[in-house]
Amino acid sequence: MESQKILIIDDNNENIKVAANIIKADNNIVWATLNVKEGIKIAEMKSPDLILLDVQMPIMDGYEACSILKSKEATKEIPVMFMTARTDDESIHKAYQAGAVDYITKPIKKMELLARVHTQLKLSGMIKCLKKASVTDGLTKLYNHKKILELLNLEIDRAKRYKRDVSIMMLDIDHFKRVNDDYGHVVGDTVLERLAFVIKQQIRDLDMVGRYGGEEFLIIFPEINQSQAYQVAERLRKTVEALIFDDGLTITISGGVAEYSDEKTEHFIKKADDNLYKAKNSGRNKIIS
């Protein structure tokens, strides 16, 4: 099982030692700090899987710290568990209002801490899986149609704000229906999966790709112009052309590239789609820019 990363924020060093020793014994990675402001910075930089947060601290109490963590984009999804000597209803209610998922009372008991930490890590993992599934295409593991459009809109906004280039490519597998008809849908699915893998290999880490629908894919190229995007697309086309599947099956792709020029998102996509249409209608296995 992969080690989980847990951040402890407490102004009492002895409390940190007790909690850390218990958690480390369960094969977890533990970061700790006595300074609440530093703890918030660590959470932003390292994205722990769980935060154990003391309530009574100088400068800023746990309630305020938790509210800050929940207000920041980088930390709002990290579950926070309070460690407190307070057991009155008002304090517990205040903890949940601040955004905590659970609390544990001091003095800390080993089995209780482990049980509560296990529960929160398990729940957090399940939520992450569900969120990932909601934006991922089940077959190719690429972004799904909804998510890739969301990302495109974000990139367009960024390009407009900072006066930077952004280009896209619409690509389609040539004669994919024949693959399904001649080899079966299992082979067709294999082709889609392998093509998705190859696309990821050929593009940069900051580029984004999603399954737009069927055998059609949309690739977003931040900060490069149409000519540069065309070069990437052409390299991808040649790589796909050289692939050999089982039974000697080969495939080709056609693509349309476009550069953003201050239009609506749907018009931007249509430019790339029109170029794809031209590529399909002028012999296939080519990129039109």
pLDDT of residue 137: 96
Alpha-carbon span 52 to 66, nearest angstrom:
10
Q: Which pLDDT score, from 0 to 100, does residue 1 have?
A: 56
* Spatial distance between the Cα atoms of 233 and 230, rounded to a whole number of angstroms: 5
Q: 203 CB contacts (<8 Å, ≥6 apart)?
A: 209, 219, 221, 232, 236
Cite the active site residues.
215
**pLDDT tens track for 124-169:** 889 989 988 999 999 999 999 999 999 999 999 999 999 999 999 9
* pLDDT tens readout for residues 74-99: 999 999 999 988 888 898 899 999 99
Terminal CA-CA length for the chain: 47
How far apart, in whole angstroms, are the C-alpha atoms of residue 66 and residue 171?
45
Whole-prediction pTM value? 0.76
Nearest to 240 by CA among 197, 208, 186: 197
Which tens digits make up the pLDDT trace of 183-225?
A: 999 999 999 999 999 999 999 999 999 999 999 999 999 999 9
Q: How far apart are CA 92 and CA 194, in angstroms?
A: 51
- The per-residue pLDDT for 85 is 85
Q: Quick one: three-class SS letters along the chain? A: CCCCEEEEECCCHHHHHHHHHHHHCCCCEEEEECCHHHHHHHHHHHCCCEEEEECCCCCCCHHHHHHHHHHCCCCCCCCEEEEECCCCHHHHHHHHHHCCCEEEECCCCHHHHHHHHHHHHHHHHHHHHHHHHHHECCCCCCECHHHHHHHHHHHHHHHHHHCCCEEEEEEEECCHHHHHHHHCHHHHHHHHHHHHHHHHHHCCCCCEEEEEECCEEEEEEECCCHHHHHHHHHHHHHHHHCCCCHHHCCCCEEEEEEECCCCCHHHHHHHHHHHHHHHHCCCCCCEEC
281 burial type by CB count under 10 A (0-12 exposed, 13-18 middle, 19+ buried):
exposed
